[in-house]
Copies of this chain bind each other. A is one copy, B any other.
Amino acid sequence: MSYETDNNPQIRELALTVREFINTHAISLEHTLRADAHGIDPDVRSQLQAAAREAGVFAPTAPVEFGGLGLNHVAQAVILEESGRSLLGPTAMNCAAPDEGNILLLDKVTTPAQREKYLAPLARGEVRSSFSMTEPTPGAGADPDMLTTTATKTASGWSINGSKWFITGAEGASFSIVMARTDVGATMFLVDADNPGMTVKRSLDTLDSAFSGGHGEVVFTQCEVSDDSVLGEVGQGFKYAQVRLGPARLTHCMRWLGAARRAHEVAVAYATDRPMFGTQLSSLGMAQQMIADNEIDIAASRALIHRAAWVLDQGHAARKETSIAKTFVAEATYRIVDRSMQLCGAEGTSGDLPIAQIFRDIRPFRIYDGPSEVHRWSLSRRAVRQSENNILPGDWA
């Protein structure tokens, strides 16, 4: 349970270790991030991951059998929030998107052979991966039913054709989980990076720049894979996407909450130190309002994340709870970072403080893993269904 976990001495101890790790190892390397390139140097990544293993904070969400910490969702809420205080933290601790979500999915769906080939090295941080779902117009995006990439049965396996874009981590990933349409429904495939039918056409120039491998446009041209490459069962792609989706959107919330908290920390420190109009900035009412609103948004975000994590830990799909958390947290963390920037004035828009980088990187979170609008549409339909079935809103069953 959430609040017990907060007080759980082991988790608390681990959280303080992560905080120390982030402060010592990750923050000092943030200057290597650049607006014009994505992620960090692979060598820096290796060095950071080694330090995380050393500190005992590596792979908090991965199975214990592969060296992970195997935390439940509520404990993840505490630890991943701490990891997110630096944009390099999740990479260092191997709990960054999309690898973290892929680890979860592969842990639930793979065959033993796939487990050994794909999950093991991924969990250990030896390789990176991607998740190829989103497609250029008029393909799958906010509306996944518009999936256009196809997989056709061949004598020896499958042939995949189509285009994907905004594939996070594509450049440099050793394999991708690819969603394609087959005769019997959407299906997921494991495709190796050296498959000649899969090409990273370009890396998109995006507002954010902290994801390792950036966001690629990936083209599949007669991309031949064997039957062993099917992840789980043929035709069950959307079902597995759901397995991955709820927890993965929640870990995004956790990490971004940490990033927003960092921006807030920097802004509070700035406002405390900054003389202005004969007093400190932090004594001016409008600044106080921004600081307080940040505190409120942090508390509400965390409360919604913990609630959804707890429902997941009870074994439920938590569709409603993760949808609410994702929508609220994506908007609230953005507000926090925006207010933090405003508090720091011109300096906040510059590389002299970490806020501008966080600002650029957090904005797209209102769009990926379901834009706020799609979540609201879904939440509204659910509310109406409950009304029709005479299940009152707010029922806590």
Which A residues are closer than 8 A to B by beta carbons?
Answer: 1-4, 6, 12, 15, 19, 34-36, 78, 81, 134, 137-138, 141-143, 146, 165-166, 204-208, 215, 261, 264-265, 268-269, 271-277, 282, 284-289, 291-296, 298-300, 302-304, 306-307, 310, 321, 324, 327-328, 341-342, 345-352, 356, 359-360, 363-364, 366-368, 371-373, 375-377, 379-384, 387-388, 392-394, 396-397
Contacts and interface: CB of A to CB of B under 8 A. Distances in A.
Contact of A304 (B271, B300, B383): B300
B394 A274 contact: no
A36 B38 CA distance: 12
B206 A349 contact: yes
Contacts of A347: 137
A302 B300 CA distance: 10
Contact of A3 (B2, B78, B276, B348): B2
A366 B290 CA distance: 15
User: Could you say how many copies of this chain the assembly holds?
Assistant: 4
Contacts of A4: 1
The DSSP consensus for interface residues of chain A is helix
Contacts of A296: 324, 327-328, 376, 379
Contact of A272 (B265, B324, B388): B388
A330 to B, nearest CB: 11
9 contacts: A1-B3, A19-B392, A78-B396, A134-B346, A138-B274, A265-B387, A287-B380, A289-B380, A295-B382
Task: From A34, A204, A380, A381, name the one whose CB has the most chain B CB atoms within 10 angstroms.
Answer: A380
Contacts of A291: 379-380, 383-384
Nearest to A366: B342
A367 B275 CA distance: 17
A351 B209 CA distance: 12
Contacts of A204: 350-352
Given A285-B286, A289-B289, 4 more contacts: A6-B396, A261-B392, A294-B383, A349-B363
Contacts of A393: 261, 264-265, 268, 294-295, 298
A92 to B, nearest CB: 19
A287 B205 contact: no
Given A288-B376, A292-B377, A208 B349 contact: yes
A19 B390 CA distance: 13
Contact of A307 (B3, B324, B387): B3
B166 A346 contact: yes
Contacts of A387: 265, 268-269, 272
A208 B34 CA distance: 14
Contacts of A15: 396
A295 B394 CA distance: 8
A395 to B, nearest CB: 9
A302 B6 CA distance: 19
Task: From A19, A324, A393, A394, name the one whose CB has the most chain B CB atoms within 10 angstroms.
Answer: A394
Contacts of A306: 303
Task: From A142, A274, A276, A346, name the one whose CB has the most chain B CB atoms within 10 angstroms.
Answer: A346
Nearest to A258: B394
Task: From A15, A146, A321, A367, name the one whose CB has the most chain B CB atoms within 10 angstroms.
Answer: A367
